[in-house]
Amino acid sequence: MKRPALRLLLILITCIITTTAHANSDTANIIHHALNITLEPTTSTITAQDTITLPNSLASQPYFEFRLHAGLNPQSITHTIVTIATPPDSIQHHYRVKLKADNQPITLQYSGVINHPISAAGEQYAHSFKETPGLIDKKGIFLAGSTLWYPVVPGQLVNFELTISLPEGWRAISQGSRIPVLLEALPGWTKVKWQERQPQDDIFIIANRFHEYGQSAGAVEAMVFLRDADETLAQKYLDTTAQYLAMYNKLLGPYPYQKFAMVENFWDTGYGMPSFTLLGPRVIRFPFILHSSYPHEILHNWWGNGVFVDYDKGNWAEGLTTYLADHLIAEQRGRAINYRRDVLQRYSDFVTDGRDFPLSEFRSRHSAATAAVGYGKTLMLFHMLRQQLGNRDFVRALATLYRKHRFTITSFQDVEAIFSQVSEQDLEWVQRAGAPSLKLGNATVSKEDKHYRLNASLMQQQSGIPFTLQIPIMIYLEGKNEPHIEMVTMASAQANVSLTFEARPLRIEVDPMFDLFRRLDDKEIPSALSQGFGAERVLMLLPSRADSALLNEYRTMAHAWARSQPGNWQVKLDSEIESLPSDRAVWILGWNNLFSNTVKAALKEQGVSLDGTTLTLKEQSLPIANHAAMLTARHPDNSAATLVWLATSRAAAVPALARKLPHYRKYSYLAFEGDEGNNVAKGQWPVLNSPMSLDFDYADNPVRNGFKLIPPPALAQLPAVFSEKRR
């Protein structure tokens, strides 16, 4: 995740006053900062001197305007500076400097307190982190463009030399390269200097009492900064860094910086900055992070921190990074089909008409719906381009995008221009909201002499102009081990398919590998917890027969979710209604809820049963006295509506369930043990009646070999772990 909260503030700043146009790669258009700062964690103060050298495009203007933190009170020993705006309820002031004819560098001096509390982001999004515009504190230091700790011109690229003085024992990290400091620090203080000559769209400082580890990863220095000494953990990150740098160097082109550092934050974050990532103390110790979120942050140095994003025209980098990191890892593990299905399911569950928007309007994720569009739809856009172009041309286009636009601010249109060189496709998906909704109809097989004729129709059911699609269809033939694959071009509301085979067609499947971005049919995906959280209308039914302690805990959880989750939520007792509504998602709370039998009946086909004291789930017997369960099912009267049965016998277990369940949204069923809610079972129901596939019936009932999808090879493979000289 590339610092979404930080980006949002800069976008808002840009909207307040329009100034500098977007910079390009010409270094003549780059502002240079020579910063010398002192940071005092115990008093939360910064003291700074900044010598600013303007590019000709700005130096030729009568004035230079910038924004700075409201508490820093800048003075200039070389120029006249005045305050021109103080936006209400803002941490920033706007300043104007009168320029001189000789283009003399501007020297500013400023100091003050920066200590903004760390606060929770939107609670409705399961992957939200707490965040702050910036702070200097004895627990740690976090400064970014959103802090406005240095003079910021929105939309203008910079480079810098940054000398930082800190109390002894502290270490500071910024982007770029660390270079020797010529002047010694004062007693009790330490100095560090970072330099970045390449254009940047932000300047960061992270500081703490770090333990540092490092080793060479080819031409790049791999580094780890931990708050507590842990050589074993550091070595895992150093080796993993070397692996992914080697893979992406080969796939996309040379890594754009001289180092990559994993830096431990003092609160939970998942930020990707140029040449380093800032991860929280819990996050870095999850073993799965090394091959999930961590590669995502490494790759951001190509997309987002190497090729910058024109946020005014849409954030393309998050989806592309997710595709080439998270999706690629799923490919390497043989799980890409399920990964794409999950992406499409999140879109189908969370993005209704009122929550949809074009990719050109995506800035950052702040809810499940914005994540499903900005990450998921963009990911699928690049996947569809890959399917159309083939791996070779797709990778060639990516390498060209990186080479031509490195260190420039790049829009979706720029991305489209690169891909149009190898494809005639225009990216209609960028400017258009929505998704196609497909249906397979009228599929028949007839015998014609010694051949078999398969006829079928495909229909786009969404409203509006049809999308232009390349739809993969698989036909399984009698006696053949692998399916026949047919690509159907569809640019209208209906496309008819007519194919001839020598062997008898046994089964047809439309887009079985989920290669298209589309809104899935309700019967095409399993019921899941995401549908309970993502529905526009939600009813939570409390168990009137539960004891008072358990009922109160259920009620507290229900009202908390009703306040924090999207959609219109109602909370009622089960005794207050006569029948389950079928026009909304319904949560049925409690083993003894008056409507629990409805869910039991709906779950029979999935092999779930409850005999009074024991829940049988996937052949696993769970005593309900010490286990909680979350089970989902389709509403018997409306497959588009989902029932969620959440039950425990222990009031003390409910707070843990309330805290944990938003993080398990993709699952059809869950089981937890004890009051702490230790997860002991999770999974997704199998899809039993997909409307996008059909088995052809024959009187002689031919042998049907187990139909199994064989996914293509991954786009790239991770090299073996290698280590070079440690220090």
Where does residue 334 fall: left (phi above 0), alpha (psi -120 to 50 degrees), or beta otherwise? left
CATH number for the region 438-519 comes to: 2.60.40.1840
115 band by pLDDT with thresholds 50, 70 and 90? very high
pLDDT of residue 185: 85
DSSP code for 505 = E
HEC per residue, 406-469? CCCEECHHHHHHHHHCCCCCCCHHHHCCCCCCEEEEEEEEEEECCEEEEEEEEEECCCCCCCCE
Strands (E), 491-579: 494-501, 505-510, 537-542, 568-573
Q: Is the pLDDT of residue 625 over 60?
A: yes
Instruction: State both tokens at 584.
Output: 């909304």
Full DSSP string of 225-278: EESS--HHHHHHHHHHHHHHHHHHHHHH---SSSEEEEEE-SS--EEEETTEEE
CA distance 228 to 224: 11
CA distance 171 to 211: 9
Q: Which is nearest to 225 in space by CA: 278, 186, 264?
A: 264
Q: Which is nearest to 691 in space by CA: 519, 470, 449, 450?
A: 519
Helix-strand-coil percent breakdown of the chain, rounded to 5?
Answer: 30, 35, 40
The per-residue pLDDT of the chain, averaged, comes to: 90
Instruction: State both tokens at 7.
Output: 């980006």
Name residues whose C-beta falls within 8 Å of residue 625's C-beta, 6 or more positions apart in sequence.
Answer: 613, 649
Dihedral sign of CA atoms 256, 262, 263, 267 in order: positive
Question: How many residues does this entry show for the chain?
Answer: 727
Q: Mapping DSSP to helix (H, G, I), strand (E, B) and coil, where does residue 600 land? A: helix
Output phi, psi for 690, to 5 deg: -70, 130
- Residue with tokens 């979404």, as numbered in its chain: 4
For 573-594, how does the pLDDT look when each residue is reduced to its tens digit (9 = 90+)? 999 999 999 999 999 999 999 9
Mean pLDDT in residue range 412-438:
84
CA distance 692 to 521: 8
- Helices (H) and strands (E) in the chain — how many of each? 16, 40
Angle between helices 391-405 and 231-252 (to 10 degrees): 100
DSSP code for 303 = B
| Helical (H) or strand (E) element with 681 | strand 678-683
For 254-295, how does the pLDDT look when each residue is reduced to its tens digit (9 = 90+)? 999 999 999 999 999 999 999 999 999 999 999 999 999 999
Neighbours of 719 (CB within 10 A): 13
pLDDT of residue 28: 60
> 172 vs 89, which has greater pLDDT?
172
Is residue 470 within 8 Å of residue 506, measured between CB atoms? Answer: no
Q: Which is nearest to 304 in space by CA: 358, 217, 363, 376?
A: 363
Give this prediction's pTM.
0.85
- Identity at 727, one-letter amino acid code: R
- Say which CATH superfamily domain 309-431 falls into: Neutral Protease Domain 2 (1.10.390.10)
- Residue with tokens 């499903």, as numbered in its chain: 372
CA distance 519 to 517: 7
Tell me if 4-209 shares its fold with 438-519: yes
CATH number of 4-209, picked from 2.60.40.1730, 3.50.50.60, 3.40.50.2300, 3.90.1530.10:
2.60.40.1730
Q: Is the pLDDT of residue 727 over 50?
A: no
Map out the domains of the chain as residue ranges.
Answer: 4-209, 309-431, 438-519, 529-683
CATH number of 529-683, picked from 3.30.379, 1.10.287, 3.40.50, 1.20.1630:
3.30.379
687 band by pLDDT with thresholds 50, 70 and 90? confident
Q: Which is nearest to 345 in space by CA: 530, 536, 585?
A: 530
Neighbours of 591 (CB within 10 A): 20
For 191-230, how does the pLDDT look when each residue is reduced to its tens digit (9 = 90+)? 999 999 999 999 999 999 999 999 999 999 999 999 999 9
